């Protein structure tokens, strides 16, 4: 009676499509449930899917070969593309600030890990495919494992007579070491350096205040006779400071309006000045003095509202091209893109999904909202043309062969680096043609988690088939011992150099450690352990470049020494 049920859920060596889907669902569902269990504030998160997959594979569960290859590769593509879209805008802008320093430290740590891996390869006799698996697991880097497996497949196609070990087995053996090793170093560093998270947070905020330039609005009363009777355009040109005049109230008049560039300034006029704080202060000092006038803040005639860019006709247009004031008597004060606030300069180009802060009359704002789009509902709807168009570009980019002399096969960016680089470029330039970079946060998190779950399920079930035998055959305990060097030598070096040479804030340093080892579990632990979101910022800053370098190092080690 229940034969159909047993057939569906019991393991089989030759599964059909339905049985394969059930195995995938068991691995993902069981892994998510296991990943929620916390021991001393530490949980495996979605990485538990791989371990459940290992158990299922060990006890005879299988996935149809074609389906396994598809979900493994497609999952990896979704994951890395989501990461690229999420951190792309901040990734490029970070190089202008301290991001250059953080990425230098992170990439140096990655290279040191590659050197340690090569030394172990030369001194232990372990095959490079296994050693790359040890390396990828010891630094919890999934894209590196994906790149290594793809490269091995390319070599296999070129040289069918060769056979290779599966690096996923070594990866699975050493992965827990990588996760808990980073967490152990975070805990020990905090204790050894006697870190007080509250003090570190105060230091970080003070550093940000000194390094960043927040946008503010201040009221200014005109008292300098040199500017009486001059237009706003003349005044801004003579003063030489980049600010916006969003509101103006003439002396002895309570009417507030949004002024044009040819509006004249009179004695004791009050205006609202918007821009970077030091620029605003310098402008007010030359024009007059800061005012306490309350009428300038009235909203009876002038309103402030945010408008979302969703109309294709407004996308990739500069604010100067739209000329909103002369057409609609409305001013754009700032634009927020991917959480970053930017002054609305005339040269600023609008991207799909940007949030514009505007000042003007209700009628003008309503007119401009139609021109710009302002459809929040549209932003919530998935744009599959942009998503799959971007994925296609990533796959094409990852498939381009790059010939390097002395290597047996051309090197490729692969499914790990290709979509990541495509996503970074698309997010940097706001899109390519009809493909735009905006994906709402909920969709990004879903795409990333679905992708990594599919990848882990496929890798885990496949590796679990011979995991026990291979653990004995390849001496899994020795792999873990070798992995300790790859985990701890670069990580301890990073902590010492970051603390004593670069004087990094400890909250940033924990995010840097997690990002350098591409470990979301360690990041989650550090934010909870230190009760701060600061580690997320440095994690996002280094993650893309680190991922690319880990992919290339894994590929090069395979190509040069297999």
List CB contacts of 151: < 8 A, sequence separation 6 or more.
409, 411, 412, 414, 554, 555, 558, 559
Residue 519, C-beta contacts closer than 8 angstroms, at least 6 positions apart: 139, 140, 178, 179, 182
Residue 283 pLDDT level (bands cut at 50, 70, 90): very high
Per residue in 15-35, pLDDT (tens digit) is 888 888 888 899 999 988 888
Say what the pLDDT of residue 38 is: 77
Q: Model's pTM, two decimal places?
A: 0.74
Contact 61, 467 (CB under 8 A): no
Alpha-carbon distance of 513 to 63, in angstroms, equals 35
Asked if 418 and 395 count as a contact pair (C-beta separation under 8 A), the reply is: yes
User: Of 176, 2, 149, which is closest to residue 76 (Cα–Cα)?
Assistant: 149
Check if the beta carbon of residue 390 is closer than 8 Å to that of residue 423: yes
Token pair listed for 358? 């505007």
pLDDT above 90 coverage of the chain, percent: 14
**Would you say residue 521 has pLDDT above 70?**
no
What angle is formed at CA 201 by the lines to CA 198 and CA 204, rounded to 5 degrees? 155
Element housing 331 (H / E): strand 330-337
pLDDT value for 40: 67
- Residue pair 256/296 in contact by the 8 Å Cβ criterion: yes
Treating both helix axes as pointing N-terminal to C-terminal, what angle do 441-464 and 167-192 enclose, rounded to 10 degrees? 120
Question: What is the pLDDT averaged over residues 346-364?
Answer: 85
Q: Check pLDDT > 90 for residue 495.
A: yes
Report in angstroms the alpha-carbon separations of 312 from 95, 132, 369: 30, 46, 13
Structure tokens at 226: 């040199």
Please compute the mean of the pLDDT values over residues 456-460 and round it to a whole number: 83
pLDDT at 486: 95
- For residue 209, is pLDDT > 60? no
Average pLDDT for 468-476 = 74
Tokens of 176: 């827990």
Query: Does residue 13 carry a pLDDT above 90?
Result: no
Segment 341-349 mean pLDDT: 81
Q: Please tell me whether residue 260 adopts helix, strand or coil conformation.
A: coil
Residues 375-422 have pLDDT tens digits of 878 888 778 888 888 899 998 988 888 777 766 667 777 777 788 888
Q: How far is the CA of 398 from the CAs of 44, 69, 387, 411, 415, in angstroms?
A: 30, 17, 16, 10, 6
Single out the residue of 281, 307, 433 nearest to residue 368, CA to CA.
307
List the single range of 48-57, 209-218, 452-461 with lowest mean pLDDT: 209-218
C-alpha to C-alpha distance for 293 and 548, rounded to whole angstroms: 54
Average pLDDT of the segment spanning 500-512 = 90
pLDDT one-digit tens code per residue, 110-138: 999 999 999 999 999 888 998 999 999 89
Residue ranges of the chain that CATH labels 3.30.70.1450: 213-377
According to the model, what pLDDT value does residue 524 have? 66
User: 126 Cβ partners below 8 Å, 6+ apart?
Assistant: 120, 134, 474, 478, 479, 482
CATH number, domain 213-377: 3.30.70.1450
The closest alpha carbon to 368, from 309, 435, 447, belongs to: 309
Using CA atoms, how far apart are residues 373 and 76, in angstroms rounded to an integer?
Answer: 34
Contact 109, 172 (CB under 8 A): no
User: Tokens standing for 12?
Assistant: 């089989």
Question: What was the pLDDT predicted at 491?
Answer: 94
């Amino acid at each position: 009676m229940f034969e159909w049920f047993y057939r569906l859920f019991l393991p089989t060596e030759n599964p059909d499509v339905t049985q394969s889907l059930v195995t995938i669902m068991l691995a993902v569902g069981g892994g998510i449930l296991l990943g929620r269990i916390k021991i001393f504030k530490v949980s495996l998160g979605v990485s538990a899917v791989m371990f459940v997959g290992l158990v299922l594979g060990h006890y005879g569960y299988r996935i149809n070969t074609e389906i396994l290859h598809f979900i493994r590769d497609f999952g990896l593509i979704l994951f890395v593309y989501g990461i690229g879209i999420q951190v792309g805008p901040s990734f490029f802008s970070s190089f202008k600030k301290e991001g250059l320093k953080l990425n230098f430290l992170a990439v140096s740590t990655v290279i040191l890990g590659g050197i340690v891996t090569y030394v172990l390869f030369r001194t232990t006799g372990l095959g490079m495919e296994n050693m790359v698996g040890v390396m990828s697991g010891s630094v919890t880097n999934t894209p590196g494992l994906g790149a290594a497996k793809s490269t091995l497949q390319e070599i296999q196609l070129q040289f069918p007579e060769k056979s290779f070990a599966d690096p996923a087995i070594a990866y699975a053996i050493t992965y827990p070491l990588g996760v808990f090793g980073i967490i152990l170093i975070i805990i020990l560093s905090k204790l050894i350096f006697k870190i007080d998270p509250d003090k570190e947070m105060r230091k970080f905020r003070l550093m940000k205040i000194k390094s960043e330039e927040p946008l503010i609005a201040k009221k200014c009363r005109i008292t300098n006779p040199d500017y009486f009777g001059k237009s706003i355009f003349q005044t801004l040109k003579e003063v030489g400071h980049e600010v916006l005049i969003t509101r103006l109230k003439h002396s002895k008049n309570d009417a507030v309006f949004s002024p044009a560039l040819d509006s004249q300034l009179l004695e004791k006029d009050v205006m609202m000045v918007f821009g970077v704080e030091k620029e605003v202060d310098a402008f007010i000092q030359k024009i007059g003095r800061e005012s306490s006038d309350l009428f300038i803040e009235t909203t009876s005639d002038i309103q402030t509202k945010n408008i979302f860019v969703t109309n294709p006709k407004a996308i990739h247009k500069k604010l100067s091209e739209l000329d909103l004031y002369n057409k609609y008597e409305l001013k754009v004060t700032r634009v927020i893109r991917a959480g970053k606030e930017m002054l609305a300069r005339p040269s600023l180009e609008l991207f799909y999904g940007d949030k514009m802060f505007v000042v003007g009359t209700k009628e003008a704002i309503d007119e401009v909202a139609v021109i710009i789009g302002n459809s929040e509902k549209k932003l919530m709807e998935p744009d599959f043309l942009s998503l799959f168009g971007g994925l296609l570009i990533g796959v094409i980019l990852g498939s381009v062969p790059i010939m390097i002399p002395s290597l047996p096969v051309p090197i490729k960016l692969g499914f790990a680096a290709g979509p990541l680089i495509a996503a970074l470029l698309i997010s940097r330039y706001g899109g390519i043609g009809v493909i735009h970079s905006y994906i709402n946060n909920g969709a990004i998190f879903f795409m990333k988690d679905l992708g990594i779950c599919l990848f882990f399920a496929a890798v885990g079930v496949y590796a679990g088939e011979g995991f026990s035998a291979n653990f004995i055959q390849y001496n899994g305990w020795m792999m873990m011992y070798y992995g300790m060097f790859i985990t701890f030598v670069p990580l301890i070096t990073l902590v010492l150099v970051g603390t004593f040479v670069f004087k990094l804030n400890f909250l940033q340093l924990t995010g840097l450690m997690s990002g350098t080892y591409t470990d979301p579990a360690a990041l989650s632990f550090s934010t909870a352990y230190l009760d701060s979101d600061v580690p997320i910022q440095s994690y996002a800053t280094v993650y893309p470049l680190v991922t690319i370098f880990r992919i290339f190092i894994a590929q090069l080690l395979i190509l040069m020494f297999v």
